[in-house]
Amino acid sequence: MTGKPKKTVTSTPNSRASRRQTKPLGRASTNQAKPTRLSVYNIVGGHFAISTVDGVAVRGCLEARLSQGENVTISFARVDVITPVFFYAAIGGLYLKFAETRIKKLLRVTGLRPDDALILKHVIEAAKGLE
- Of 106, 104, 123, the residue nearest 34 (C-alpha): 106
User: Residue 25: helix, strand or coil by DSSP?
Assistant: coil
More confident residue, 86 or 9: 86
Which residues touch 119 (CB under 8 Å, ≥6 apart)? Answer: 82, 84, 87
Rounded CA-CA distance 11/104 in Å is 30
Strands of 1-131 (E only): list them: 21-24, 36-39, 48-49, 72-75, 81-82, 107-112
Other beta carbons within 10 Å of 39: 18
In tens, the pLDDT along 14-65 reads 444 445 555 556 544 444 578 999 999 999 999 999 999 999 999 999 999 9
Sequence ranges of the domains in the chain: 19-129
In tens, the pLDDT along 64-101 reads 999 999 999 999 999 999 999 999 999 999 999 999 99
Which residues touch 62 (CB under 8 Å, ≥6 apart)? Answer: 38, 72, 74, 90, 91, 94, 107
